[in-house]
Amino acid sequence: MPLNTSLPIIDFVILDLHDPNLLGVVDKSYYPSGFTVSTPTVEITPPSFPKATLTYTIKTLNTYNSNDLKLTCVDNESQLGNLPDGMYTIKMSISPEYSYNRTKSFLRTTNIRRKYGIAVMKTDITCCSDDIKKQHMVYLDEINYYIECAIAAGNDCSGTVAMTLYQEASRMLDAFINNKPDYFLNPSYFLLGI
């Protein structure tokens, strides 16, 4: 069936801004020439918090912080809270909303990626023992694999699996950062049944 170019097609991309305080959403919708966009609205539901209904600017990057999402209420932007990692649902629409909308879910991993960076920086690549360096690289690769699998599950709308993998990666990172290598000899991921 050919695409009807006389009607808008709502679409957007979620960007990783590498900033724990911000969420980036780019409107990449198609708006026909001469079409008047009315009431551009975005609904963002962070993990374990109620939905925040906001406006967005069409055809551009829109950024949202913890005040926008009603997670904090501070005047000084330096006091904004980190947005939580986890499964988010975002719905963009224009009027009439029942005709022109799009909803996507995704797993935000900004905070665990920062924690992963701390673990990488903790690794002494100048260590004189090649065995220890290799072991650390294997641990970090495995942790990164769990994070990537969690993202894939989140992109596939498998929120429960995504969060199980995310939490395991977080536990593994905590063990690595806190010098508890025994954790890797007996990881709980064998019990996940995934």
Give all domains of the chain, ordered by start, each with its CATH number.
12-108 (2.60.40.10), 110-191 (no CATH)
> Is the model more confident about 100 or about 137?
100
Name the residue with tokens 């994070």: 147
pLDDT of residue 194: 41
Residue 160 binned pLDDT confidence (cut-offs 50, 70, 90): very high
pLDDT of residue 6: 87
Query: Is pLDDT above 70 for 170?
Result: yes
pLDDT (mean) for 118-123: 86
Residue 147 binned pLDDT confidence (cut-offs 50, 70, 90): very high
CB 110 within 8 A of CB 93: no
Q: Could you count the other beta carbons within 10 Å of the beta carbon of residue 64?
A: 20
pLDDT of residue 131: 77
CB 65 within 8 A of CB 76: no
pLDDT (mean) for 25-40: 96
Residue 106 binned pLDDT confidence (cut-offs 50, 70, 90): very high
pLDDT (mean) for 55-79: 95
Query: Is pLDDT above 50 for 191?
Result: no
Residue 189 binned pLDDT confidence (cut-offs 50, 70, 90): very low
Q: Could you count the other beta carbons within 10 Å of the beta carbon of residue 132?
A: 13
Residue 125 binned pLDDT confidence (cut-offs 50, 70, 90): low
User: Using DSSP, how many helices (H) and how many strands (E) does the chain show?
Assistant: 4, 7
pLDDT (mean) for 162-176: 94
> Is the model more confident about 154 or about 123?
154
Tokens of 109: 């991993």
Average confidence score pLDDT of the chain? 89
Burial class (CB in 10 A: 0-12, 13-18, 19+), 179: exposed
What percent of the chain is modeled with pLDDT above 90?
A: 71
pLDDT of residue 5: 79
